[in-house]
Structure 1
Amino acid sequence: MGRISEDTRAHNEEAIRAAMDRLLRGDLPPGGKCDLRTLASEAGVPRTAFYAKKNRDGTARKGPYQHLAQEFERRLTALRDAGTVPDPRTVQIERLKEANATLKTRLEQRDAELETLKDLKRRALSQIAAQHLEIERLREQSTGLGNVRRIPPGRVGTAP
């Protein structure tokens, strides 16, 4: 990429600042985040212009808009420290993580309750089966003795 004129640089810086303000207000494009990639895309400048460069002799030099990248990061950090998150997806992700943790806890509680109820059901069925066997045994015993008489059913509406 060749050198740019001062007018182009001033225009680009103005576009970067306008895009920076939009992003930090939370006005994000579809699929965009509040980051340097989206900032570069919104401003119409190459993303590499925000990073340091190397000269041919190996020495480092600042990128043409590196100071604006640092300003963007500084303002973004200040907003986050103040409790404001310009990226609604970040808020949504945090909310979903909390909801997921709550649902996991509820699921664990339900699983424990379900196991308790299954155990109760097993014990109740075992007791019912034991009682049924005892009733059957007593019925057989009573018919085998022959000394047990059946009482005829009482008449309805009469006192004993």
Structure 2
Amino acid sequence: MTSFALAPEFAALLADSHLRLVGTPLVDQHVPIADAARWLYQDAPFVLVAHNADADPRFVYANRTAQRCFEYDWDEFVTLQSRLSAEDPNREERARLLEDVRTQGYSTGYRGLRIAKSGRRFWIEHAVVWNLVDRAGVYRGQAARFADWTDV
């Protein structure tokens, strides 16, 4: 497991970017700041994933809920190109969403078809996707969260 899973600095990047761009907190208000990284990774009741800023981005973060939903463990997830979370026919629509987020900062209410490691297909519902921008204004990638998904 890389250091991002429980790294306070990465949790802060996720939470700070979400608050600045989306306008709502990512971390439950009852969670102490010192415990935010652990809560996001282990206890958050939503899928939380992030990919880097590469031309063909790779996942760099997937909380436990994401691992259960997509059926990849941490080591598998963080070697996966994020485009592979959607099947080929759905990748163009996903790419349009990510480009819109890149230029606008975030998107809410997204619905899209995804695929798990086993081949199980599912709709993600009401997803929020946002840019990861550090406090210096440097673009670090994108993140997504959703709590609702339905098997096809």
TM-score (norm 2): 0.21
Q: Which has the higher relative contact order, 1 or 2, with Cα contacts under 8 A spaced 6 or more apart? A: 2
> Which structure's residues are more often helix, by fraction?
1
TM-score (norm 1): 0.20
